[in-house]
Structure 1
Amino acid sequence: MTNTDLAVGRVAIVTGGSRGIGRAVARRLAADGLAVVVNYAGDDNAAAETVHAIIAAGGNATAVRADVADETAVAELFDRAETEYGGVDVVVNSAGRLALSPIAELDLDVLDRLHRVNIRGTFVVARQAAQRLRTGGAFVSFSTSVVGTRVPGYGAYVASKGAVEAITLILARELRGRGITVNTVAPGPTATELFLDGKTEEQVAALSKAPPLERLGTPEDIAGVIAFLTGPEGRWVNGQILRANGGLV
């Protein structure tokens, strides 16, 4: 699952990198010349497919399984990146869970599992990133544009992503003096397998018409935003929440 014969310059860790937006981010960063550590939670085949696609395109990648909410596993993930590639320059924390329910009917066990990944997981990954990113690095986390649109049924998910947004500027300020940027991307409706699952054609069509651009986003749209924020042209963007949603409020 690795190709270490290629020259290694900058190195990225992408959590949740085996599927959906995370996979698109991993592939885009690899195409831009970064060695990519593709983190995943449990789907070995999806992770292998992602790494194979990167290597087939001439990139450099390896897959490492780790639960983002497990501090020992995440420390070992960073250890692996440092051992294999020499350091870490970019961390993109795209791992997350989604659960929909009216607040009045919310299963608190579901809430705990959701917040374990989305809040604790973000803190665990951010903690390692803060300790280990090389000077001039970048950390990007993920929120959701539903924090602004406030769609019923998303209460638990939005609460978890509101926490992610809240720490963005704080972490940016805590890393003062190291040239490290910290930002959060909040996608709108994006055509991933997870997003489309369970929706009717009519629901998808309505969601597609909601943004002024009148389409769903693609994983590649979001990957392009990440490439900007973690690349040389995004160095003056720091401590920001970027709503990549085609113009939704």
Structure 2
Amino acid sequence: MDNTMNDKIEKILTNPAIGAASQMHPLLAAAHSSLITSLTNIQNERREVFMDELSRGKIRFEDKIAQSDPFVHCFIITYDAAMRSLQRQKNQYFAHLLSSSFESSELYNVTEYEEYLNMLNETSSRELWILVVLSKYEKKHRNIHGKLTLKEVSIYWDAFIAEISSKLSISSEEINAILTRLNKSGLYSTIVGSYVGYYGDRGTLTPIYYKLEDLIKPIEGDFIDDDFLND
């Protein structure tokens, strides 16, 4: 069940007319009660994951910084995003973003925080997984070649596309379409220029992506794993 469907169900269940009708029809009453229970369980699980992960950080609610207006504002909007995400690991990323931003003062500007939160919120799990896989190739080759130009990117690009295609069971054309869309996110940038045999289908991650990765990755363990796609 996706987030949009959950929102629609919640609006339906809280509609007074639905509640009144359910009291008149036994079958509708049973369905209404079952859906309320399911929705409550989902919300409780999301809340537990987010708050548990947040508690692992250094920020404590009794701390002065946690009582500041910027933190309270960022907590509210981050909590709201987490409550709308079905994925456990992404909920943890929301908690990491909040705690790491205020622990290290990496994002002391609320407007900047909102931008990074929106980027994480609007990037699907599949898109995020693709970007993380790309970062694996980039880091390996950046250590060897330094700056990544089309020449260096071309060394690993086919292997990157093949890995994504195999894992997600999608064509290279669909992968290219996903990457093209990610240009708008600010996390990925297509390499532009006139090169013989180049069709504008390759690119690199941006500094914004690597900053976001640093903010949301866990201190220990894998940043992201294959189970993330099925979480």
Normalised TM-score (structure 2): 0.23
Normalised TM-score (structure 1): 0.22
Higher strand share: 1
Which of 1 and 2 has greater Rg? 2
Higher helix share: 2
